[in-house]
Amino acid sequence: MAKAKTFDVAVVGAGVFGSWIALHLARRGQRVVVLDAYGPANSRASSGGESRIIRMGYGPDELYTRWAKRSLQQWKELFACTSPALFHQTGVLWVASDGDAPLADMTAVLKRCEVPFETLDAAALEERYPQFSPQNLAGAVFETTSGVLMGRRAVMAVLERAVSHGAVYRHMPITSPLVDSDASTLSMVMTASDEIVSAGQFVFACGAWLGKIFPALLSSRIFPSRQEVFFFGVPSGDTSFDARSLPTWLIPSEETYGMPDLESRGFKIAFDGHGERTDPDTQHRVVSEQSTERVRSYVAKRFPALRDAPVVETRVCQYENTSNGDFLIDRHPEMKNVWFAGGGSGHGFKHGPMVGEYVAQQILDGGVAEPRFALANKATQQKRAVY
């Protein structure tokens, strides 16, 4: 058995939450170690895709709008010192269908939070963005300063910055923490190679693996779901689907979202509905024929110019859902030095900076806890409320 290495904080998981937590703690002088079984933003991780939307709109939900706004500022500050190309200010277009509830609640929050946006009626939407078939579309709200984060590379940039502030990164899995029934703290974790890592505080930011590491407590409260993503090749010489002509977009009533052709990867599209429950270690990451036919049919209807476009790339990842979509950021109910940071629920990537800031405050300052993030509020039945 290897000799124990002692740190102030051990962070398990090098995804977007874990990396930002490590960075905020390291900036505040903490001795931090980050452990990950597969590597930062790896192909199994929810943080591992090429691109992620950063948008401010959350309907009437002001908490996440304010977090997204502050997070975008921190992402930009990071990229100013690394690679600005990791954020593309495409704008984000919220498209309303006939019969949708009005977007007034969202625009009221955007106004209060001083988020720049425009409103488009159906005629203006059709004129500005003829790429969309106008059938059943009633108008849109356009966030002018939002856009896309280049996911995998952005996470690696965060972790590199944490390491530059003194954090230590170790590519190794841990075994499930074993704690005596009468223990109130966790003193160490053991890696698969029998190395002991000791720390004063432990943060488990391991996404879809939370339920596997803490099965008795979290397996019924974390719901990993299979999510399939498609990239369509745009016609040769056609610039109408690049970021100068088409923004990132969402049609909530159709549970679809997509991005323009960034870095010549193709037009990205996915369904936002939760897929089947899955195991992040073992799920087969090849899209199904059924899903391929479904997305082809949708693209042909909603984006007629891409009716015959080839699928040039696909990806299968997962959401890591809580019962309603609120994050899980809370202390273990029995071990006072163990924290959970997860429940990204398909919308968490953008919030990485604020999750890191919030967790650092909770650990170091005893900051006021947000009740919505509490473990006690995570049910065992899904009823999605945050998108």
Q: How confident is the model at residue 350 (pLDDT cuts 50, 70, 90)?
A: very high
Are 141 and 166 found together in one domain? no
SS3 198: strand
Evaluate whether residue 67 is within a structural domain.
yes
Query: Across-strand partners of 170?
Result: 35
Q: Name the residue range of residue 345's domain.
A: 5-47+152-222+323-377
Q: In what order do the strands lie in the sheet with 137-143?
A: 117-121, 137-143, 92-97, 248-251, 256-259, 267-271, 223-232, 311-321
Task: With beta carbons less than 8 A apart as the criterion, state whether 305 and 232 touch.
Answer: no
How far is Cα 204 from Cα 343, in angstroms, rounded to an integer?
11
Q: For the chain, what is the domain count? A: 2
Are 26 and 39 found together in one domain? yes
Are 58 and 135 found together in one domain? yes
Evaluate whether residue 238 is within a structural domain.
yes
Q: How confident is the model at residue 178 (pLDDT cuts 50, 70, 90)?
A: low
Are 74 and 217 found together in one domain? no
Percent of the chain exceeding pLDDT 90 equals: 90
Task: With beta carbons less than 8 A apart as the criterion, state whether 198 and 185 touch.
Answer: no
Are 246 and 340 found together in one domain? no
Q: How confident is the model at residue 180 (pLDDT cuts 50, 70, 90)?
A: low
Q: What is the pLDDT of residue 299?
A: 98
User: Looking at residues 292-298, what average pLDDT do you find?
Assistant: 98
Evaluate whether residue 73 is within a structural domain.
yes
How far is Cα 88 from Cα 252, in angstroms, rounded to an integer?
22
Evaluate whether residue 372 is within a structural domain.
yes
Half-sphere exposure (Cβ direction) of 254: Cα atoms closer than 13 Å: 22
Q: What is the pLDDT of residue 184?
A: 86
Are 234 and 120 found together in one domain? yes
Torsion 206-211-213-218 (CA) sign:
positive
Q: What is the pLDDT of residue 103?
A: 82
Q: What is the pLDDT of residue 5?
A: 66
Are 137 and 95 found together in one domain? yes
User: Looking at residues 77-93, what average pLDDT do you find?
Assistant: 91
Q: How confident is the model at residue 286 (pLDDT cuts 50, 70, 90)?
A: very high
User: Looking at residues 151-161, what average pLDDT do you find?
Assistant: 97
Evaluate whether residue 190 is within a structural domain.
yes
pLDDT tens digits for 196-247?
999 999 999 999 999 999 999 999 999 999 999 999 999 999 999 999 999 9
Q: Domain of 351: which CATH number? A: 3.50.50.60
Is the pLDDT at 142 greater than 80, yes or no? Answer: yes
Q: Which residue has the higher pLDDT, 60 or 2?
A: 60
User: Looking at residues 134-145, what average pLDDT do you find?
Assistant: 96
Q: Which amino acid is at 6?
A: T
Q: Domain of 98: which CATH number? A: 3.30.9.10
How far is Cα 87 from Cα 68, in angstroms, rounded to an integer?
14
pLDDT tens digits for 12-51?
999 999 999 999 999 999 999 999 999 999 999 999 999 9
Look at the block and give the residue holding tokens 């006690």. Answer: 376
Among 321, 336, 360, give the residue marking a domain's end: 321
Q: What is the pLDDT of residue 260?
A: 98
Q: How confident is the model at residue 82 (pLDDT cuts 50, 70, 90)?
A: confident
Q: How many CB atoms sit inside 10 A of residue 289's CB?
A: 7
Is the pLDDT at 133 greater than 90, yes or no? Answer: yes
Among 282, 304, 321, give the residue marking a domain's end: 321
Are 145 and 71 found together in one domain? yes
Evaluate whether residue 19 is within a structural domain.
yes
Are 227 and 206 found together in one domain? no
Are 111 and 247 found together in one domain? yes
Is the pLDDT at 268 greater than 60, yes or no? Answer: yes
User: Looking at residues 319-348, what average pLDDT do you find?
Assistant: 97
Are 60 and 131 found together in one domain? yes
Evaluate whether residue 385 is within a structural domain.
no
pLDDT tens digits for 298-321?
999 999 999 999 999 999 999 999
How far is Cα 384 from Cα 325, in angstroms, rounded to an integer?
6
Evaluate whether residue 348 is within a structural domain.
yes
Are 200 and 249 found together in one domain? no
Among 275, 302, 321, give the residue marking a domain's end: 321
